[in-house]
Amino acid sequence: MSKLIFFYYNKLRKETWFFLILPILVILSIFFFYPMFTVFKTSVYKYVFPNIVEKLTLANYSRFLLDIFYLSKVLLPTFKLSILATLTALIIGYPFAYFLSKMKNPNIRRLLFTSIILVLWVNEVIRILGWMIILSDNGIVNSFLMKIGFIRTSVHFMYNELSVFIALVQISIPYIVISLLGVFNYIDPSLGEAAKTLGANRFITFLKITIPLSIPGILAGTLIVFALNVNAFCIPLLMGGNRVSMIGVEIYKYSMEVNNLPFASAMSVILLLIILLIFYFYTSLLNKLYKGY
């Protein structure tokens, strides 16, 4: 047995690629895979306040998955907000990406593209503060509506699901625009011209040619955005007050504030599985639709 290992080890030593990927393998194994393993391990340990008892149990998982409280107050808002925000961002961002790709002036195009990217590179906390100023009870929207007499008392835009939804949409739009721009640049413009010579007006070409050809971009963009929204932690934490509960927030609360590490670990494992399922579903859908590519 040891001779076999020795043989393979010698073989590997001669391969260049082994040394090339050695650094990243080492770092990933020690600082990524092993900590993940620790989380899996902790998730099946018992939590007896305030200690972690090292007895194997699935109680953490059953507590989250079988209790209607967690399902309805955590899992449901997570999915509801993520799906809504993803679809809204898609609808809002699609025309923008389309018009941007068709724009002839390169300077304006660059300017618009850069300003969209800027949103991604500005810190999440900063964006949230901006929304707070706009949406809070004595913020811009409320003061404006009160000045024109539309409402008497301030409408609560902040610290509920609406504000989380708005912030999620804002952060989702740049990713969708980027994915769609990539696809739009790839579409052969002569297809549109061919359709025009056959008598289709602009609207029908858009419907029958542009949209179907852009589906890979739509799928890729919505995948990224949906995964990002389900993972969202900072936005619901700050913009939802204590009322909006997404799974990321619960993981943070149970690990950092309550110190119930096993339960928090179980929730993160569940979150990971959800994301993996979404990924698997998406990629199999893409493969089915585009077998030849």
Partner 1 sequence: MKSGLFFSFAKGIYFLFFLLFVLSPIIILMIVSFNPESVEFPPQGFSFRWYIEMFERHDFINAVRVSFYVAFLAALFSTVIAIPTSLALTRYHFWGRKQLNSLIVNSPILVPMVLTGLALFEFFVILGIYGTYQSLILAHIIITMPFPIRLICAELQAFNPFWEEAAAIAGATKFQSFIKITLPIIKQSIFGGYIFAFIISWNNFALSIFISSAKTITLPVQVYGYLRYEYKPLITAISTSLVFLSGLLIIIIDRFLGLESMFINKNK
Restricted to residues 255-274, the positions that interact with partner 1 (CB under 8 A) are 255-256, 261, 264-265, 268-269, 271-272
* Contacts to partner 1 from residues 202-221, by CB under 8 A: none
- Identify which of residues 161 and 172 has a Cβ nearer to partner 1 in the complex: 172
Query: Taking a C-beta distance cutoff of 8 angstroms, is the pair 247, 74 a contact?
Result: yes
**Stretch 40-59 residues interacting with partner 1 (CB under 8 A):** 42
Helix, strand, coil proportions of the chain in percent (round to 5)? Answer: 80, 5, 20
Q: Are 52 and 261 in contact (CB under 8 A)?
A: yes
248, 271, 71, 57: which is closest to 168 by C-alpha? 248
Q: What is the DSSP string of 268-287?
A: HHHHHHHHHHHHHHHHHHHH
For partner 1, which stretch binds (CB under 8 A), given 57-65, 67-75, 95-103, 284-292? 95-103
- Identify the residue among 6, 36, 55, 215 touching partner 1 (CB under 8 A): 36
Q: Please name the amino acid found at residue 280.
A: Y
> Is residue 38 a contact residue for partner 1 (CB under 8 A)?
yes
Min CB(62)–partner 1 separation in Å: 20
Interaction of residue 123 with partner 1, rule CB under 8 A? yes
**Cα atoms in the 13 Å half-sphere on the side-chain side of 34:** 7
Interaction between residue 276 and partner 1 (CB under 8 A): yes
Rule CB under 8 A: choose which of 61, 79, 252, 282 binds partner 1. Answer: 252
CB of 69 to partner 1, least distance (A): 20
Count, residues near partner 1 per rule CB under 8 A: 83
Within a 13 Å sphere around the CA of 32, how many CA atoms are in the beta-carbon half? 6
* Binding to partner 1 in span 142-171, by CB under 8 A: 143, 170
The verdict on 115 binding partner 1 (CB under 8 A) reads: yes
CB 96 within 8 A of CB 177: yes
